[in-house]
Amino acid sequence: MSAPAEITPKKHIHDLPPEILIQIFEHYINLHGSYVFITTLLRKSGLMYQSPVHTLSQVCSRWRSLTCSTSVLWGRISTRLPAWDERYTRGVSQCMSMHLDRSRDGPLHLNLGSFNPRNSMPFVSVVSRKLSSIPYHHHRLHSLDINNISHLPGLDLTKEVVFPELRSLSFAPSAYKYLEMVLFPKLRDVSIKFPTDPWLTDADFTPSASTLRLPWGKLTSLTFGCESSKDITSILHECRSLVFLTLHILRGREDCQPEADRNTSFPVLHHLRHFTLYMPHSIMYGTVQLLNRLKCPSLSSLSLIAEAYPEINDPWPFLEEGVTRFIVRSRCPLMSLEVSGIPITESSLLAVLRSTHRLTSFSVTGDFMQSVIVGSLLTSVSIPLASNSEDQLVPELRDIRITLNSYEAEEHVCGDTLLVLFEVMVRSRLPYLYSAVISVSSLSRPNTSVDSLREIQREKTVALKVIVGGEVLLGYS
């Protein structure tokens, strides 16, 4: 959001109905991904702290009246500040007071963080006093996100506290002991932060159902990280209502197999529909062991994302040994599959596609893929003329995205061949195809190679995109 002096709204924008203006504003903020308060350095008065909604209220008198009377706009409080600089914290305190007052009795969405990378340093006194009043608004809190803060000031840890309306909670493991006396009866979305490199910490950041008094059985969304040596099937046994699960498996400090779990049965997540799994390439074998213990009969979307190292080119059949067996055992109606950074073989890729007959969206990305494998994929998903629908591979496929970062000697030759196969696939799936994207390293004749695809996009209702060496030759930028 620009500074007030730079905003010159046209008359038709000025006279927008309040409901439309609020929706446009919230959509703008969501696109830019942040409600964080803005710091502005003024020549005379020094630092000024503003929030996006405060900036909006300064455009004109009508917009000021509208924003000040709309409490829902002021319910989002998000700030990051250096905990040791009182020049910043004084402005934050004033801005927080304004938001708390103008939000009145509306819902609060609180996002508090510090630039301090360690959790030991508290906020300076002026902000601590303001934050200490937050528990008095506990009945209004709908979401809470604390980052690089060891605890929430004002919480009395000697007695039980209830956050009756809190739906979403995000925190770091260092806050475990500060949440032991807090109850969240309506909590449904939990995100537990984790260190990017567990080798740098001695703390165990893998969550445990016995450590936190969360309504595990009622959660519908869960995001957390764990070391590869930890067995997390026990916590998944508790989360039987999950619809969304995002799991980050990190390299452990010790290179060992996962701990044995007393409950050896497969966790059956009956309601899980969206599963995203992040993992380092070096521990994919341990990831297969996890998939071998899960059953998700309602799963419709699966994303498998691994760190890619170009010097590793071992095409270990991860998809065939882990993913295909997981899909077949779960008997799930998988409709969306994303594979990124995972070395694959032609047989494993085709095995996965044969086991996902209802697939409508498929995305594959990586540095490991050889052009012959991608070419085989494009040929396989092309629908031959007068073919039997029962024999077609992924007959309901509507969206396909392929990214190939090739390291072969004649990259442009590979790119030209793949683009021809890509066009054949697109033509074979018209008019049922919605969108198709391909990214290659290079082409011998970039401008002329996409002419026929450009003609298809002009005449048909399909969104096509061709990227060559990071440059978009066809489609939106």
Does residue 337 surpass a pLDDT of 70? yes
The pLDDT score that the predictor gives to residue 73 is 81
Residue 336 has pLDDT above 90, yes or no: yes
Q: What pLDDT, in 10s, does the model give residues 214-235?
A: 899 999 999 998 887 777 877 8
Q: Which residues on neighbouring strands pair with residue 474, listed in sequence order?
A: 466
- Report pLDDT for 33: 54
Q: What is the chain's mean pLDDT, rounded?
A: 76
- pLDDT beyond 90 at 208: no
Q: Is residue 369 pLDDT above 60, yes or no?
A: no
DSSP single-letter state for residue 10: -
* C-alpha count within 13 angstroms, C-beta hemisphere, residue 303: 13
Q: Would you state the pLDDT for residue 309?
A: 52
Interstrand relation of 399-404 and 361-366 (parallel, antiparallel or unpaired): parallel
Is the model's pLDDT at 4 over the cut of 50? no
Q: Is the per-residue pLDDT at 205 higher than 80?
A: no
Radius of gyration from C-alpha coordinates of the chain: 26
- Name the phi and psi angles at 177, rounded to 5: -70, -20
pLDDT at 388: 59
More confident residue, 188 or 64: 188
- Rounded to a whole number, what is the distance in angstroms from the first to the last CA of the chain? 22
The model's pLDDT over 381-440, given as tens digits with 9 standing for 90+, comes to: 887 654 555 667 888 899 999 887 765 544 545 778 888 889 999 998 887 899 999 998
The pLDDT tens digits of the residues spanning 14-46 come to: 667 777 777 777 776 665 555 666 555 444 555
Alpha helices of 103-208 — where are they, by DSSP H?
Answer: 125-131
Is a pLDDT exceeding 50 seen at residue 7? no
> Region 182-186: what's the mean pLDDT?
90
Mean pLDDT of 100-119: 76
Answer yes or no: is pLDDT of 447 > 80: no
Q: pLDDT tens digit string along 268-319?
A: 899 999 999 998 877 777 777 788 888 899 999 999 888 755 444 555 556 6
Please compute the mean of the pLDDT values over residues 362-381 and round it to a whole number: 75
For residues 298 and 332, the answer to whether their CB atoms sit within 8 Å is yes
Top-confidence range, 30-39, 73-82, 179-188, 343-352: 179-188
CA-based nearest residue to 130, from 94, 165, 101, 173: 94
- More confident site: 258 or 283: 283
The dihedrals phi and psi of 157, each to the nearest 5 degrees, come to -80, 0
How far is Cα 218 from Cα 238, in angstroms, rounded to an integer? 9
Alpha carbon separation from 293 to 13, 70, 268, 269, 333 (Å, rounded): 56, 49, 9, 11, 19
pLDDT of residue 43: 46
Q: What is the mean pLDDT of residues 172-180?
A: 76
Instruction: Examine the pLDDT at 84 and tell me if it is beyond 60.
Output: no
Lowest mean pLDDT among 163-172, 182-191, 264-273, 301-310: 301-310
Q: Is the pLDDT of residue 70 over 50?
A: yes
pLDDT > 70 in the chain, percent: 67
Residue 271's pLDDT is: 96
Residue 463 above 50 pLDDT?
yes
Instruction: Say what the pLDDT of residue 136 is.
Output: 72
Q: Which pLDDT value is given to residue 95?
A: 78
431 upstream amide cis, omega within 30 of 0: yes
d(CA 439, CA 241): 38
Reported as type and span, the H/E element at residue 92 is: helix 86-102
Least confident piece of the model among 62-76, 150-164, 213-227, 458-472? 150-164
pLDDT at site 191:
94
Better-predicted residue by pLDDT, 191 or 258 = 191
Q: Is it the case that residue 352 has pLDDT exceeding 60? A: yes
> How far is C-alpha 164 from the chain's CA centre?
27
